[in-house]
Structures are given as structure tokens and as C-alpha cells.
A and B are shown apart, each in its own frame.
Chain A
Amino acid sequence: MAKTLTRRDILKFTGGGILGLLFSPLPWKLLDDSSIWTQNWGLTPKLAHGPITNIFSHCSLCSGGCGITARCVSGFPFAITGISGHPVSQGTVCTRGLAAHHMAHHPLRIVHPHTFTGKGSEATLSAVSLQTAVSATAEHIAASHGSVVILDQQPGRAISHVYREFLNSIPNGIYLNSPSVEAVTVNTLKAMTSGEKYSYGFDLENADLILSFGAPIFDNWGTPGRLTALHNAGTTKVIQVDSRYSRTAMQSTEWLPIIPGMEKFLALGIANIMIQEKMVPAQVIRSMSDYKAYVAITNEFTPEKVSQITGIESDRIIKTARALASSHHPIVLSGADPGGGPFDSETDKSITALNILLGNVGKSGGIISRRDVPGYEINSEPLHWANIPDHSIEVLIVDSVDSGYALPWTLIQKKMLLNGGSILSLSPILNEISAHSDFLIPAPALFESLQDIPTPPGHPVGTFAISTPLLKKQEETTEPADVIRLLATALNVQLEIPPMEELIKQKSAALYSHKRGTLHIASDNSTLQVREIATADDFWTKLTEGAVWIDEKTQQHSQRSYTIGLSAVNVPVQGMELPMIAYGWRGATASAQVSPILSKVFQETELRAINGTVSINPTTAIQYGLSKDDEAELSTVNGTMKVHVKIDPTIRPGVIEASIAPLLNGIETPAHPAGSNILNLCEVTNDGTWRITTAKLLKV
């Protein structure tokens, strides 16, 4: 054997070495470690190591008033859960709230005033100074001949009072809420009540029968934890009137599937049966000032006629009416669909009137009156969108929070001046509305500043809480109260507006001075009488530590008088070509954003349809030559978009159901934060609703 080492030998040795390495853990371990190394680069955000603490606060993503426990490491929140025993939210937080601490880090977050230059797909965001944005808006207000509107989608807060004061100080100032108002039934009842006005709430916990017209009560309506507890208790029968087999319909005792848009006629039909079968108590008849006119309107709506109009069998209508009348504690409520929006006001009146007929107002288990929270009294109701003349809004200021319900841009466009007017958005995160804005002055994001949490809509007693900040405020964000102060100064309007925290503290002191009610203490689930708290400062401290104030129940009076005020009702001519009904999930259909991580919930489950999906019955599919998973073109008066078709036998034949939902992650841009959106295809009617739109569906 040759003793010299040749190049061939070296190569063989190397080859053998490589083979030996390949059969050792080295390459695979290096691969594993390298991938871990790349995950730990400096750019990867990490939580600091430090003490883990719980901070109690309240979520203000919607008006639900849920108490939250923020788990924090080194003071930085990394997880949100509920507060066990919380008297309002009962320990539950919705999906959006569980990810609420993400919102300050949303990819579409803005932290500095901006303006949009250009329009549509050409639009670009440019940073401007606060002074520039305020001055431009003030100039528009000063020069305006049309209305100056502030859109506040969570009315009843301290900032809401600031908005109203400002609007009362300038010509043509109008205060507007979201078109979808969860407390519409109690608000309508309040308007119907003659004489002294009361605030009302639903005593759901003591109700034995709830007839809900479209309200998504088991899908995040109101305070989700409250309704979850009600559902779990199983003691209340729920009849859901819904044009679709919604999640609430699925979980109700009975679903009454109704032809879309015919809810008013069902309500009138039920009233007719109660009147004809003498199920209306005599004192109720005496309390209704326009009872005769009401009877005259309901007279023509016999069960048979209503059955033809609504698509519900007459037997079921009669059975429902009798069940309502014989129930000890019934409640009838109407509700907007989170995506499809509200009913028109006549429908709301028809539905609300059933409560009066049942005599459940001012009674346990029905609709009960509650005292206004001191410092939060409301002297006038906001205008309804239907009462805003088309193309009359010259300046629109959009508050930073949303209602959790959809707000189509087409509705706003219908009310803005034809040449567009001027829009100022205070939202901290780019959304559909801000994409059409002229200026953006971002408010602090959720949990970056102290906020007050007023009574949730429809709650049976007044409540008050604080959303304690968990995060550091970004320097160049501006509290809405400060924006209003700057605008007032620019317009030479004399307004005293203290800083937000001081304003809310004043409200707290005013509340404390009445020495009524109790505080629920989050840390130990205990209750403290307000009169036992030594000072207003102590009261304030406890609120900032996560306590919630609960008012005392008020004495009920059932001796009231009402005026229903229904207009003459025209039976609709049916046969609309393929009505499209939009629907959605509260919180996720809003004009605001959801946490990008929530996209896992929306994309990975078959339970929720994603944006751009329409569902039709198999019969409808055959009629239009469509199959499952086809791509189709959906056309309405507002435009056309490509959609994905799903076939679902639970859907009424001849109807398209269109899901309004968050977009797939990552396709939003600052100019198109909601991408193309079925919501904007919905036709907005003169009464400010978009529940039903005539549509065409063509296979692509």
C-alpha cells in the first residue's frame, strides 16, 4: 500500500468526514439552533422580564362596559381576561376585548396628525402639524353654510358632553350617534312616554320570555357576559325573529324565520291578535293616548295577512302573541344587525309598542326605569340619521371610538355635501372612514389614556367605571377634548374644557357627592357602600383601581301614559329581485379595526364567513347557475365586486346573505384600510337604513 498521502486520499477522507457528519446530529442541530437564533434578533419585539402583576381596568372598545384584568409583566400588558364576579360583565370578555391590548400596536395605527392628499387609489398620507389640521378644520367650520356634525358612536361619556357643548356654541351644530343604537327599544319607549321622561333598562335577568326582533343577543349584543350568563341560566325563553339562521337564532328557544324587511308587520300582527283576543289590560288601554288610532292601524293585519307578508305560518304568529300575553315577565326588543344596520323608525315603534301593550313597563322582568347617573344626565336625544337632509353636512368630525356596528361610507357620503365637505377623523387607527377624511388627528389608542365608562345601553341600573391606562400615551396623539378646545379657541368660542382626566374626576366627584349606590371592588370581589367611603379622592382611587359603581334600583311606577305615534302603514309590494341582506358580528363589523391576531379566529374557522363571501340557498344557486365555491360578480346600484359563493340550505330561497367581516390579514393599505367591502355595495335608503339591497349575482 502506498505510504504517501495523495490529493485523492484527502478528498476521500473529507468525503467520509462529510458522510460521518451527515449521520451525526450536527447539521440538524445547527439548523434548529440557527432558526431559533433568527427568531431572537433585536428587531423581534419581546416582553421584558420582570414581576407579573394584575391591573384591573375596563374595556372601551364598545359601550358594553366590560371589566378586564390585564396581566402585565414589568407593567406591560400581555394578556386580558375578565374580572370574576364583575356585576356588569360577569367575568366575560368578548374576543375583541381579549385582544384589546393589541390595538395600540395595530399595523394601521397612526400616532401623528396626517392629511390625505389625492383621492381613491392615488391617495397618500402626509404628516402635518396639529396646528395645520386644527386651523384647516376651524376655517371650514367658520366658512360653512351647511351643518357641522360630530359623530359620536359611544354617547353618554364625558367627552360626549363636551361635543354637545361645542356644537351648541356654533351655528348649525348637530350631534349624531351611530345609526345602529343598541338601546333603540328603550330610547323609542322614552320618546313615547308622556310627561316626565325616564331612562329605561331591560330587566332581562327576571324576564321569562324575550321576543327579540333581530337583536343579536347571543352574539355580543349589549354586555356579552350578561347575555352569556342569561343563556347559561336557561330560565328565560327566547324567541328570535330573524331573517337568517343567525348565531342568536341557533341558540334561542325558537326561531321565527321572517322574510327580510317585514318585521314591522309581524309586530303589528301580534298587536292585532292581542287586541282582538282582549289580551290587553284595561289600564294599558287607558294609558295609551292614541290607542284608537293604533288599533285602526293594526286592524288590517290579521294573522293570515301577516303570514302572507312575513312568510311565518299564522298558527305560529298566534301562538307567539298568546305566549307573550300570558307570560308573567315578557320583554320585546328590537336590535340592529351589526352588519345590516338598524330598522327604520316605524319598525322600531311597532316593536316597542308591544311592550306597552303587554304592560311590562315599570315592572320587574320587563322594561324598568333607572335613574340617570349624576353628572351624566341627557337633556336631549341626538338626531336620527333619517332626519339629516341629504347632502347637508359640510363639516364632519368623527370621534375616535366606534360602536361595534357597521357604518357604511355610502351613508356618510349621502349626507355630506355633494362636493364632499370636510372630514376630520380622530381615530387612532386607520379605518374606512378615515380613508375618506381630509385630516386625521389621532386620539390616544385604547388603554393609553384614562376614559370613563358610562352605563351600557339597556342596563337596568346606572353604572360608572374608569378605563385605567395600561400603556404610555404616544406623544403626538391628542385627546379629543383637546382638539375641541383648540377648535373653540380658533373659532373664538368661549368654552371651559378641562383636561380629560380632570373632567372625568369632576364627574366622579359629582357622583360621589350623592352618596348612593355601591362599589364593586375587583381585587377581592367585595362590595362597598359609597356612603362608607370617606372622601371623593378615595372613591376616585378605587375607581382607578378597577372598581365599578352600581346605582341602587329605583322605585318603579307603572302608571304612565304613552303616545305610540305610528304612521299609516303601507303593505309592501313584494317580489324584489334577489334581496341582499348584510350581516355581521358586533365588534368585527365596525368602522374600526380588530387585532390582526384575531384574523386567526376569522380565517381558520368555518363558523364565520369572511369578507367577500355571499351565501345562497341551493334552490337559488340552481336558478342562477352557481355552485359551491364559485366566484361571482355581485352588483348593486352602488357598484360591483367579486365575491365567493357558499351554498347553505338554512338560507331563505331567493335571498343573498352577505357577510361583513374583517378582511384577510395584511391586505389593507392606509388608503384602503378596509379594502373593497360588501358594505359599500349596500343601498342606503332615505330612512338611513341599508338592511336590504336589490342585487344581481352572476357567475364569473
Chain B
Amino acid sequence: MKSKIIFIAGILFGSFIGWYAFPFALYYSNEQPLQFNHLVHTGEQGGMACEDCHQTNELGRFQGIPVVAKCAECHASPLGETENEKRLVDDYITPNKEIPWFVYSRQPDNAFFPHAPHVTLGEMKCEECHGDHGATEVLRLHQTNRISGYSRDIWGAGISGISSTTWEGMKMDKCVRCHGDNGRRDGCVACHK
């Protein structure tokens, strides 16, 4: 009886390490250099759409995270009274210094992902891959995998890597599945140039 209890305790302990403690050890967190409230901009108050800041340029190339000059179009001087906006203007816009954002969805160097065929041609919605990020009020911590160097968002928030949504996790199997569901059959060089 005692040995069974000890054995089960071991299983529980191992499970605890694997499921709960392991992620804390695996990832280290970085706070974003500035807090950014998406909802203020995209909600009823701001009324902006994703593409108002995350634009496609004249060559059809997606611009990713906007440069500070984009922010300066509205925030050349503070519009409100928050500490964050004051820091935006004083520390970045005024000295024309780019904000060193930590990018949640940065793909590895060996993966070629162009937004244009997916968004412009494929008419995919931003939420399909990025979830409700555009409606968040605070930017969560950016977590980096100590071993691979990837953002936690690439694997997904859950340590199991299993998710029921399209926006949790950005590993290759998600891309392949979606491509398959949409009737595309690509070779390796489609994404690994």
C-alpha cells in the first residue's frame, strides 16, 4: 500500500513538473518596452481597423509592426493623460527612436511567410492567426523559449501544444493543415526558400 502511494505520488510529482513547473523553467519573460492598448484604437472610441496601422505598402509587401512615424501621425503630441502615452511621445516620437517591440509571432529565419498572399489575395482575417490581439487592452508579457529562442506564441500558450483554435500556435503543422483544407499542395520550397 505504501509503495503504491509513493509510486502514485511520484507520478503526480512528475506530472506536476512536466505540466506546470516546466513552462516556468522553459520560458523567460520580457515586458514590452511600452504598454499599448489595442482596444482604445480599434474599439468604439478609436474606430480603427488592423490595416490602418499594420499596412501593406505600394509593392504589396506587408509592413508588420508600424514604425514610430506611424504613431506620430496622431500622437505627435499627447492626446490623453496616460503615463504610457507620455513615454511614447517623450522617449520615442520626439527623438524619432523606434520602439524595440518584442514580436509575439515572429517566425524563424528558415520560414518564409508573406502576408500578401494570405491577407490580400486569400482574404484571411487577422483574427484567424492572431486571435483577439487587436482587442486587447494590455500587452501581455512576451515569453521566449530558452532553448529554441522562439516566442511562446509559436508553440502556443498551452504546454501540450494542442489547441482547438486557429490562433493558438503557429507551428508548421498549423500552416500545412490550413493549406490542405484549402486545397493547396505545396513543396518544401514554397515556405523554406
| Contact surface of A with B, Cβ cutoff 8 Å | 1-2, 8-9, 12-26, 29-30, 32-34, 36-37, 39-40, 46-47, 52, 54, 78-79, 597, 600, 604
Q: Are B10 and A29 in contact (CB under 8 A)?
A: no
List the 3 shortest-distance A-B pairs measured between CB atoms, nearest first: A16-B10, A24-B18, A20-B14
- Within 8 Å by CB of A26, from B22, B108, B145, B189, lies B22
Q: Are A16 and B149 in contact (CB under 8 A)?
A: no
Whether, in the assembled complex, B17 has its beta carbon less than 8 Å from a beta carbon of chain A, the answer is: yes
- 11 pairs from A and B in contact (CB 8 Å cutoff): A12-B3, A13-B13, A16-B7, A17-B17, A19-B14, A20-B12, A20-B14, A21-B17, A24-B15, A29-B161, A37-B148
Q: Are B193 and A79 in contact (CB under 8 A)?
A: yes
Q: Are A26 and B7 in contact (CB under 8 A)?
A: no
**Min distance, Cβ A520 to any Cβ of chain B, angstroms:** 19
- Within 8 Å by CB of A18, from B14, B109, B147, lies B14
Q: Are B22 and A19 in contact (CB under 8 A)?
A: no
- Within 8 Å by CB of B11, from A1, A16, A34, A52, lies A16
Chain A contacts for B161, CB-based, 8 A: 25, 29
In the bound complex, CA of A14 to CA of B3 (Å): 12
Using CB atoms, name the residue of chain A closest to B150: A36
B 46-63 binary contact with A (CB < 8 Å = 1; else 0): 000000000000010100
Q: Are B18 and A16 in contact (CB under 8 A)?
A: no
- Within 8 Å by CB of B148, from A8, A33, A604, lies A33
Whether, in the assembled complex, B124 has its beta carbon less than 8 Å from a beta carbon of chain A, the answer is: no
In the bound complex, CA of A37 to CA of B19 (Å): 22
Q: Are A2 and B2 in contact (CB under 8 A)?
A: yes
Chain A contacts for B109, CB-based, 8 A: 40, 46-47
Using CB atoms, name the residue of chain B closest to A3: B2
Per the 8 Å Cβ criterion, residues 1-33 of B in contact with A are: 1-3, 6-19, 22, 26
Chain A contacts for B8, CB-based, 8 A: 16
Chain B contacts for A2, CB-based, 8 A: 2
Whether, in the assembled complex, B159 has its beta carbon less than 8 Å from a beta carbon of chain A, the answer is: yes
In the bound complex, CA of A16 to CA of B11 (Å): 4
Q: Are B189 and A13 in contact (CB under 8 A)?
A: no
Q: Are A20 and B13 in contact (CB under 8 A)?
A: yes
Chain B contacts for A21, CB-based, 8 A: 14-15, 17-18
In the bound complex, CA of A78 to CA of B111 (Å): 13
- Within 8 Å by CB of B147, from A9, A22, A26, A34, lies A34
In the bound complex, CA of A36 to CA of B145 (Å): 11
Whether, in the assembled complex, B165 has its beta carbon less than 8 Å from a beta carbon of chain A, the answer is: no
Q: Are A12 and B147 in contact (CB under 8 A)?
A: no
**With A24-B17, A26-B17, A33-B145 given, is the CB distance from A600 to B189 under 8 Å?**
yes
Chain A contacts for B59, CB-based, 8 A: 54
Q: Are B13 and A17 in contact (CB under 8 A)?
A: yes
**With A29-B159, A37-B147 given, is the CB distance from A23 to B15 under 8 Å?**
yes
Q: Are A20 and B148 in contact (CB under 8 A)?
A: no
- Within 8 Å by CB of A20, from B3, B6, B17, lies B17
Chain A contacts for B7, CB-based, 8 A: 12-13, 15-16
In the bound complex, CA of A54 to CA of B17 (Å): 50
Q: Are A13 and B148 in contact (CB under 8 A)?
A: no
Beyond the given A8-B3, A23-B14, please list 5 additional residue pairs across the A-B interface where CB-CB is below 8 A: A15-B7, A16-B8, A22-B14, A25-B161, A37-B148
Q: Are B147 and A24 in contact (CB under 8 A)?
A: no
In the bound complex, CA of A469 to CA of B63 (Å): 27
Chain B contacts for A34, CB-based, 8 A: 147
**With A20-B15, A25-B18, A26-B18 given, is the CB distance from A12 to B10 under 8 Å?**
yes
**Min distance, Cβ A528 to any Cβ of chain B, angstroms:** 21
Whether, in the assembled complex, B110 has its beta carbon less than 8 Å from a beta carbon of chain A, the answer is: yes
Q: Are A78 and B193 in contact (CB under 8 A)?
A: yes
Whether, in the assembled complex, B82 has its beta carbon less than 8 Å from a beta carbon of chain A, the answer is: no
Chain A contacts for B145, CB-based, 8 A: 33
Whether, in the assembled complex, B160 has its beta carbon less than 8 Å from a beta carbon of chain A, the answer is: yes
Q: Are B26 and A29 in contact (CB under 8 A)?
A: yes
Using CB atoms, name the residue of chain A closest to B20: A24
Q: Are B11 and A33 in contact (CB under 8 A)?
A: no
- Within 8 Å by CB of B110, from A22, A39, A79, lies A39
- Within 8 Å by CB of A36, from B11, B15, B147, B189, lies B147
**With A16-B6, A33-B148, A36-B108 given, is the CB distance from A25 to B13 under 8 Å?**
no
**With A25-B161, A36-B147 given, is the CB distance from A15 to B18 under 8 Å?**
no
Per the 8 Å Cβ criterion, residues 131-151 of B in contact with A are: 145, 147-150
**Min distance, Cβ B163 to any Cβ of chain A, angstroms:** 13
B145, B147, B149, B159, most chain A CB atoms within 10 A: B147
Using CB atoms, name the residue of chain B closest to A19: B11
**Min distance, Cβ B193 to any Cβ of chain A, angstroms:** 6
In the bound complex, CA of A33 to CA of B150 (Å): 9
In the bound complex, CA of A36 to CA of B13 (Å): 28
**With A30-B147, A39-B110 given, is the CB distance from A24 to B19 under 8 Å?**
yes
In the bound complex, CA of A529 to CA of B77 (Å): 48
Using CB atoms, name the residue of chain B closest to A30: B147
Q: Are B11 and A40 in contact (CB under 8 A)?
A: no
Q: Are B193 and A12 in contact (CB under 8 A)?
A: no
Q: Are A20 and B11 in contact (CB under 8 A)?
A: yes
Chain A contacts for B18, CB-based, 8 A: 20-21, 23-26
**Min distance, Cβ A523 to any Cβ of chain B, angstroms:** 10
**With A25-B159, A54-B59 given, is the CB distance from A16 to B148 under 8 Å?**
no
